[in-house]
Structure 1
């Protein structure tokens, strides 16, 4: 190659370089490279499942993001979206402990024309806790009311406990599990799969824990109801002198529920028989209710109060003076009976009101003449609340004679 040709090549190369420098100068003047901070750039967590091997777990609902300092042409930064960055934090290999830990964030894929200034010092906080589990009992949460005239029994839940696992601090807040079931307007038995919700002591929902199983089966019997009267049953015989006047239950009726076919054919609810053979006073006793199979009390009554009213009967002996009336003026009475023996029976409270001075026994001698007569004793003042058991005597024999006149002379 001759000297002239070499010079031409060198000149051409210099021209290209000069043009490139000139282009870069113009370009930088129109679109200068600037530095900017991109806030809240999302970070993807890698190998989270390795925490379980160390009995650890991430606290749920954490927002993983970081601020990036980037350098790029102004036009590029202007249109830059934080979602374009691919940032990752790999949890494998870190000696994490319960609480807050700092892990390194790496740029997984670069964006052309954009450089991350602080890529070597990107750190992010992650909150972890001990991975724990326990079993909690499941109760039903009833929503709504069954149809009018029907009642719901207690629920049967299967399984009646669930296993929960997750951060220890969340686990410690859980006091129970609830499976809500809607019974609105139900008139037939309910059988539903219901989602389990975890609650704290204030019945607030706790999330962020795994539940197994997540759904449980809830069965509730829906039964027909109505009011039935109480039928008091007794056994034995009242003691002599005592009469059972009445037995009255309180309450007089109760509300029961059960299978429709059974409820429709029941007229009353019986009590267990009450033994009256030892009852001598009015009293109130507890009596167990006999519930037919398939029927139960809506308000869970198992007993009722039974008021037993009695009357006690006895007898009383009285000695009543006999009053002889209307004897003729010229007649005199001989061999008369002075008193009447009276035995009366009745309720003790009524007998106590009767005394000898309130009764009167009389023999009317009107129209009787001399001679022997059998007369009837008239008894008055006996109230109709008692009965005369015996009267001795009922009739008496009397003798009436004429008075003897005594005369004399007193001659002075």
Structure 2
């Protein structure tokens, strides 16, 4: 009986050992131990509220990503994804500057892990909260002959928050506004971007309002001539030689339904009756209703000259008789010894016109009467205002 029991015990032990080794074999083949690694796992800081209460924030130059290596049975690891891994740490004795954080991982039982690195050095900075107005950076161009009249943006300002070192880099907030091929009013929703002095985006800064609504008013433009109406008359002793408007043309803008009907624009009317010398005058531009210009006034330059009246005495012997086709006796004329020639000319010619410049002549083909009467005419090598010859006619007795 005892022998039978001993024999059964040995068999049981052998059976158990065999079963154990078979279990090990099966586990090794069916559910082996695996090693998996995950990179760039973000670290969660548990006591962020403590930082906020002390007006502190984690600096942008702090690396909060780590690598994790986990080891366990395939059956345990098969459902673990990167998103399932939560690595956390807690800041202690917080101070501005560098702080060390010990890291831990929430992992299922029977799984071992290694965090690389197992400690993080976190840079703590003062937190800043600043109000900034929002601008617009225009890119591309509108359709030809169109311009932006007005841009309104909502909200007009917002707040930025972040590490002091980054917030201080932000020079302005801007929305990029694409104008390409636009030819009418439009609205758009654009992202608000923090920019430095060089126009580059500043990363790591939180903008309270991510987007702004931009309303753009677009006008059509047109170049038209600028004109003036003059009233009054100069004194008889003065002459308006010329006047010049500067600019000669202006750019007007407005809604196409108004712009298309405008062909010219006038400045305010000007009275020239008191002018007696050259003068520059700034005059208001009378823009039609619903039409706009970039300038409000135009300059008008008046060129005024005084008129000089001078009497010249010409001997009758200097009169030339042309085309005496009827062979009249020219000596039988009724002319006095001297002919009076009154010439009106511009002041600029005062030192130029002389007695010798005045040539008198009679064209005997023009008028035949009995007795023959002919008009005395003149040649002067300058542009003059008027000439009065006394006597005006010469009579030749037959």
TM-score by length of 2: 0.70
Task: Summarize the alignment of residues 33-112 of structure 1 with structure 2, pairs less than 5 Å apart.
Answer: 40=39, 42=41, 44-47=43-46, 49-50=48-49, 51-59=51-59, 63-66=63-66, 83=82, 86=85, 88-91=87-90, 94-112=92-110
Q: RMSD of aligned C-alpha atoms? A: 4.7
CA change 1:293–1:356 in 2 (3 A) is same
Task: Say whether 1:184 aligns with 2:180.
Answer: yes
Q: CA deviation at 1:305?
A: 4.5
**Unaligned residue ranges in structure 2 (runs of 5+):** 320-334, 363-372
Task: Summarize the alignment of residues 189-268 of structure 1 with structure 2, pairs less than 5 Å apart.
Answer: 189-234=185-230, 237-268=233-264
Contact 1:285-1:305 within 8 A present in 2 as well: yes
Task: Say whether 1:312 aligns with 2:311.
Answer: no
Measured against aligned partners, the alpha-carbon deviations of 1:161-198 in whole angstroms (never above 9, x if no partner) come to 22111121211111111122333333321122322111
Contact 1:43-1:105 within 8 A present in 2 as well: no
**Unaligned residue ranges in structure 1 (runs of 5+):** 326-335, 364-375, 397-412
Q: Which has the larger radius of gyration?
A: 1
Map of 2:125 onto structure 1: 129
Structure 2 distance, partners of 1:90, 1:77, is 25
CA change 1:139–1:277 in 2 (3 A) is farther
Q: CA deviation at 1:264?
A: 2.9
Structure 2 distance, partners of 1:155, 1:227, is 23
Q: 2:187 is paired with a residue of what secondary structure?
A: strand
Q: CA deviation at 1:322?
A: 4.7
Structure 1 distance, partners of 2:230, 2:379, is 35
Task: Summarize the alignment of residues 261-340 of structure 1 with structure 2, pairs less than 5 Å apart.
Answer: 261-274=257-270, 276-282=272-278, 286-297=282-293, 300-323=294-317, 339-340=338-339
Question: After alignment, is 77-86 or 159-168 more displaced?
Answer: 77-86
Structure 1 distance, partners of 2:172, 2:339, is 87
Q: CA deviation at 1:316?
A: 0.8
Task: Say whether 1:143 aligns with 2:139.
Answer: yes
Structure 1 distance, partners of 2:173, 2:338, is 90
Measured against aligned partners, the alpha-carbon deviations of 1:204-254 in whole angstroms (never above 9, x if no partner) come to 122322223222221211122322111123455434422224333344322
Map of 2:354 onto structure 1: 355
Measured against aligned partners, the alpha-carbon deviations of 1:87-131 in whole angstroms (never above 9, x if no partner) come to 53333x62333443211112333551x445899x93222233222
Q: 1:267 is paired with a residue of what secondary structure?
A: coil
Map of 1:410 onto structure 2: none
Contact 1:57-1:131 within 8 A present in 2 as well: yes
CA change 1:234–1:358 in 2 (3 A) is closer
TM-score by length of 1: 0.68
Q: CA deviation at 1:144?
A: 3.4
> How many residue pairs end up in the alignment?
360
Structure 1 distance, partners of 2:375, 2:69, is 132
